[in-house]
Amino acid sequence: MTPDSLDSVRPVRPSRNVPAGRPRPGVLNGLSHAALAVWALLIIAPLLWTFLASFKSNTEIFGDALLLPGELRLDAWGRAWSKAHVGLYLVNTVLVVSSSTFGTMIFGSMAAYVLARYRFPGSRMVYYYFTAGMAFPVFLALGPLFFVVERVGLLYTHTGVVLVYIAYSLPFTIFFLAAFFRTLPESVAEAARIDGASHTRTFFQIMLPMAKPGLISITIFNVLGQWNQYLLPLVLLARDQEDWVITQGIANISTLAGYEADWPGLFAAVCMAILPVLVVYVIFQRQIQSGLGAGALK
């Protein structure tokens, strides 16, 4: 065989036997991309319209929804911040959510680590007791919660709301982190014990840093869930408007907007409530995905 004939020889690609009736991968990819595009449009379009509506006038808002604002109006943002007290509500929300998230992660991580790595009489029952809390909707316990918080003298206080937030966030936090801690290598903990490290030091200095992807993921979930909570603060912070969180403030602004016809101010307040959590998600989205992916692969 001559060199020219060798150049003309092409490797034969193995044939892929696709079973009859099974859709080809290209078709599935196209359908999945189309579904994701539709889902993204359904999420992004209302957010974009809300943001643009905060710069419109009442006439433009109730006119053609696809038209852009005639001019850049920032007065609605000023009214929402000062007159509607959105700034005060945001400060209260940041204080409550940061405190409750910190407490949830401290108590949840310690409980999940012990339940995942140690065996003692009743450990499974304690784990099931915590995870059973995910089965009860919040509104079923509003009545008992009101009287319990009132009995301990924490009703209409941020401290009472923080403690209730922690209690309601612990079940999912323990459920998620316990599964993550079980995947960590036991040899690392054994090496730490051989070197003389206590259980507390092993947890905080060795095992907790190894669980960083899972901790970041569940922290973001807790922040989003507590930031958007409405029923609990509505019941536990119903007296003093100065103590309200952002969800209560937005609900009050939406009621006042109907009387005062200040719809741009309402949409500006909604944008102020959305932007902080949107920024947090954009910053930590890679850590969230890596944490969920690590937990799934392990």
Q: Provide the pLDDT confidence category of residue 258 given band limits of 50, 70 and 90.
A: confident
Q: Would you say 249 and 86 are in contact if contact means Cβ atoms under 8 Å apart?
A: yes
Most distant pair of Cα atoms in the chain: their distance = 97
Distance CA 43, CA 37 (A): 10
* Closest to 93 measured CA to CA, from 169, 158, 157, 166: 158
How many angstroms separate the Cα of 14 from the Cα of each of 11, 17, 21, 24, 63?
A: 9, 9, 21, 17, 60
Q: Which distant-in-sequence residues (6+ apart) come within 8 Å of 197 by Cβ?
A: 205, 206
* Closest to 226 measured CA to CA, from 153, 178, 162: 162
**Quick check: 105 pLDDT over 90?**
yes
Q: How far apart are the first and last CA of the chain?
A: 54
Average pLDDT, rounded, for the chain: 85
Distance CA 142, CA 129 (A): 20
Distance CA 20, CA 42 (A): 35
Question: 0.75 cut: is pTM over it?
Answer: yes
**Quick check: 12 pLDDT over 50?**
no
Pseudo-torsion of CA 211, 212, 215, 219, nearest 10°? 180
Q: Provide the pLDDT confidence category of residue 17 given band limits of 50, 70 and 90.
A: low
